[in-house]
Amino acid sequence: MDILIKQARLSDGEALQDVGIKDGKIVAISESITENSVTVIEAQGRVLIPGLVESHIHLDKALIADRKPNKSGTLQEAISVTAELKPTFTEEDIYARAKRALEMIISHGVTAVRTHAEFDPAQGFSGFKTIMKLKEEYRDLIDMQIVAFPQEGIFKAPGTEKMMYEAMEMGADVVGGIPYNDAPADKHIDLVFEIAKKYDKDIDLHQDFSDEATDISIEYLCKKTIAENYHGRVSVGHLTALHALEPERLNEIIALMAEAQISVMALPATDLHLGARNDLYNVRRAVTPIRKLRDVGVNVCLATNNIRNAFTPYGNGDLMQIAMLAIPVGHLGGADDLPTVLPMITDNPAKALGLQHYGLQVGDNADLVLLDTKVKADAIIDIPERNYVIKNGKITVEVKKEVTIFK
């Protein structure tokens, strides 16, 4: 074997297990493996989980918060500030920042990521091409899916429609879109489907990012997904406007989403920062209704979105901190709720991204994280050190921390 992890906690209340890894795969799981191994990791009861999956992040515009601040804290100013900055980005600049952000998430245990790489006639493809280059360079450390993302809209930024097709030709993995920042939203969605069907790719939209539910297109998206037989191939980020719907109408929409098997990426770090800026009192949480979606069977994921820019002026690339943030925000701290949170950064996004052989069974890819905690139920609330990150059966990150307290 290449790596043998001794005495790891795979689930609470069950015996500790040895996990054997060879040629990038999990080849054995049992209470005692005696076979020789090149590397042995003594887990000593610490929790072993599959690699974290970052399902929605913008690497190309990470780490620019110091260049031009978003003073109002609104979504409108975040978009306009970033649109002003983008034409000043050089490829070297994008490369250096995106690489740093990528290494931040890898060091925190992410082994697969879906990143939105944007382009528009003003910026061109400098960001998109840089992210494509990083995908290749980091292929041994992380699986990357690149979404062709028209941040400035398609119809309102003439020339972008052609660029969408060019991005697909250059190798984008997923068709992106942003119906709320374009008009008409239904035509935007129709075009995204046309492109997705042409290239047989999945769809991932920035959807209904608003405090109010007066002008939403999620219903249209669900109906289109069902009509095009695209069940399970469409994801949406934000979807904050759902929070503003009365229960009866919300239930109708969520049932439709479940039927269309649409995955939702809740983005609490961004949504809490930009949302509800006009509320002078009783300020709303402005995050998609995570519990309700989950309870009706919608596949809910938690993701980072942005790291230190006009949309989200903080963050260190740790998906576990995002999950911890979602616990109080989404009322997910109850005894029955807490165990549903870890899957929102592991199994659920793996499903949304269509990852194959993901998990902790014999035969699955050896993409694993050993956490410095001994209770799986506490995997998020401890925000534990990621002692080892293993990708394709190789150790990619090793963290040792010693604390000495003098008395």
Where does this chain bind Zn ion (CB under 5 A)? 305
Q: Which is nearer to Zn ion, 7 or 305 (CB)?
A: 305
Nearest distance from C-beta of residue 205 to Zn ion, angstroms: 10
Q: Which is nearer to Zn ion, 7 or 263 (CB)?
A: 263
- Residue 340 CA to its chain's centroid (Å): 16
Nearest distance from C-beta of residue 246 to Zn ion, angstroms: 27
Nearest distance from C-beta of residue 37 to Zn ion, angstroms: 41
Nearest residue to 104 via CA among 316, 320, 325, 307: 316
Residue 141, both tokens: 């450390």
Nearest distance from C-beta of residue 303 to Zn ion, angstroms: 8
Q: Which is nearer to Zn ion, 130 or 305 (CB)?
A: 305
How would you classify the pairing of strands 143-149 and 52-57?
Answer: unpaired
Alpha carbon distance 87, 83 (integer Å): 8
Nearest distance from C-beta of residue 132 to Zn ion, angstroms: 18
Q: Which is nearer to Zn ion, 18 or 182 (CB)?
A: 182
Q: Which is nearer to Zn ion, 54 or 367 (CB)?
A: 54
Q: Which is nearer to Zn ion, 305 or 373 (CB)?
A: 305
The residue with its CB nearest to Zn ion is 305
Nearest distance from C-beta of residue 151 to Zn ion, angstroms: 8
- As beta bridge partners, residue 146 has 115
Peptide bond into 184 cis (omega under 30): yes
Residue 301, both tokens: 């994921």
Nearest distance from C-beta of residue 359 to Zn ion, angstroms: 27
Alpha carbon distance 153, 181 (integer Å): 6
Nearest distance from C-beta of residue 235 to Zn ion, angstroms: 11
Q: Which is nearer to Zn ion, 3 or 144 (CB)?
A: 144
Alpha carbon distance 128, 68 (integer Å): 22
What crossing angle do the helices spanning 126-137 and 91-107 adopt, rounded to 10°? 40
- As beta bridge partners, residue 302 has 266
Alpha carbon distance 286, 33 (integer Å): 49
Q: Which is nearer to Zn ion, 269 or 327 (CB)?
A: 269
Alpha carbon distance 152, 160 (integer Å): 9
DSSP class of residue 121 equals T
Nearest distance from C-beta of residue 204 to Zn ion, angstroms: 9
DSSP class of residue 382 equals T
Instruction: Tell me the three-class secondary structure of 238-294, residue by residue.
Output: ECHHHHHCCHHHHHHHHHHHHHHCCEEEECHHHHHHHCCCCCCCCCCCCCCCHHHHH
Q: Residue 57 phi/psi, 5° resolution? A: -150, 150
Contacts of residue 135, defined as CB under 8 A and 6 or more positions apart, other chains included, come to 144, 146
Q: Which is nearer to Zn ion, 143 or 204 (CB)?
A: 204
Alpha carbon distance 258, 232 (integer Å): 9
Q: Which is nearer to Zn ion, 217 or 305 (CB)?
A: 305
What Rg, from alpha-carbon coordinates, does the chain have? 21
